[in-house]
Structures are given as structure tokens and as C-alpha cells.
Amino acid sequence: MKNKLQNTFGCFFLVILMLLPVRRVYAQSEDFATWTGVKVSHKVAPRWSLSAATEFRSKDHLRKADRVSLNLGASCDVLSFLKFSGIYELHYRNRGSDGWKFRHRYLIGPQASVKGGNFKFSLREYFQQTISEGEAESRLRSRIKAEYVPTSWTLHPYFSAELYQPIGGEAFFSIARMRYRPGINVRISRKCSCDVFYCRQYEPVRSINIVGLEFLVRF
């Protein structure tokens, strides 16, 4: 049964990967940014985990601060290969001449994952709603991820692709953003690791090259 599930999920993963939209985006501008953060998680029950994270982002080729954020989340292991998560985020953003502004964001959705040998594959679907200055924006975020996780290795390389789609209005299920993210998870200890990554983000009006560093602590 387990092998059948792995084969089914693996085939589904490859189909989704092949169906990801491939198109050229003629960006009006290019930017270089950094993302740095710390995330902590704690398993409060056999199926339940809580998490908290903070992050700082730069923009405009590192010349300006972009945003500072804080998020709180909870996840439940519904099945051995399936979990359901909910996250609340608070962003404090640099809006240029308008100054710094707050916005709120909520994310909720499932993630399925399966291991095959030294590889781990996952598919995550989030419904995201962002509230800023009285306006609400809803998007569907779909991410596929492949990791190479041999137990004897300290370095675990991975690659993910994430698609953002607006929900509602004339832009229903168009492509608002694509992210391609190769990275390496460095295992520092049994409970601590460091994620070093590069992210290429495409949007209709700009593209961003992002270098990131995130520390993850489990207790």
C-alpha cells in the first residue's frame, strides 16, 4: 500500500510539474533583494504543532528596507502523508512616499508529502487573503517541492516552484507571480537547521533576484 501511494503521488507530482505554465514575462524592471528570518516550531501533541517566525526583507538592490513581518501558525497531521495548516501574518511595509504601513495576511490549506528512497516530494495548496487599508486581495498559492534528504548528509539540497493565482474578478486564475527556489538546508544539530536559498520571482511588472537565509529551531 505504501509503495502504491508513493508511486501514485510521484506520478501526480511529475504531471503537476509538467503542467506548470511556462511563458516569458517581459518585466519592466529588475531588482535584487534579501530575505532573512528565524522560525521556531514546537510539537504540542502527537498531531499538533505550533510555529512562529519573524523576517526582514530588503529591496531596491539592498538600498532600502522592504518589510518586517511576524507570523503565527498551527498545523495538524491529518494522515501520515497529509497535514493541514493555518497561518496569520502581520507585515510592516515600506510604502515609499506613503511611509510605513501595516497589513494583515491569512493562509490556510493542506500539504501532502511522500518519500521515495532519499527523495522527499511535497505538494502544498494555500488559500491566501491579504487585508491592507481596508482592501482585501485573495490568491491561491500552489507549490511543488523536491528535496534530497539522505540521513547521513548534513546538507539537503532542494528545489521548489510556486504559482500565485488571483481569485475573483476578471483576473480569475491568471498568473500573478511565479517563484523558482533552489536551496540547501544545512543541518546544524538535531533541532536546529539553516536554510540558504536563491529565489527568482517573476511578476507582470518586475522580476526579483532574492538571496535568503532562514534559521529553523524545533523544540
Q: What are the phi and psi torsion angles at 190 (to 5°)?
A: -65, -30
* Percent of the chain residues topping a pLDDT of 90: 80
Residue 207 lies in a domain: no
- Looking at residue 136, its pLDDT comes to 94
- CA 219, CA 14: separation in Å to the nearest integer? 34
Which among 218, 170, 201, 187 is positioned nearest to 35, based on CA atoms? 201
- Whether residue 183 lies inside any domain: the answer is no
Residue 146 falls within a domain, yes or no?
Answer: yes
Q: Which domain holds residue 77?
A: 2-26+37-177
pLDDT digits (tens, 9 = 90+) for 42-57: 999 999 999 999 999 9
**Number of domains observed in the structure of the chain:** 1
**pLDDT tens digits, one per residue of 154-180:** 999 999 999 999 987 666 668 899 999
Taking CB atoms within 8 Å and a gap of at least 24, the contacts of 134-138 are 137/166, 138/166, 138/167, 138/168
Classify residue 216: in a domain, yes or no: no
Q: Is residue 136 a contact partner of residue 161, using CB atoms and an 8 Å limit?
A: no
Mean pLDDT of 99-114: 98
Sign of the dihedral defined by the CA atoms of residues 142, 16, 183, 4, in that order: positive
Is pLDDT at 84 greater than 50 in this prediction? yes
CA–CA separation, 210 vs 62, rounded Å?
10
Q: Give the pLDDT score at 18.
A: 47
Q: How far apart are CA 151 and CA 145, in angstroms?
A: 18
Q: What is the pTM of this model?
A: 0.85
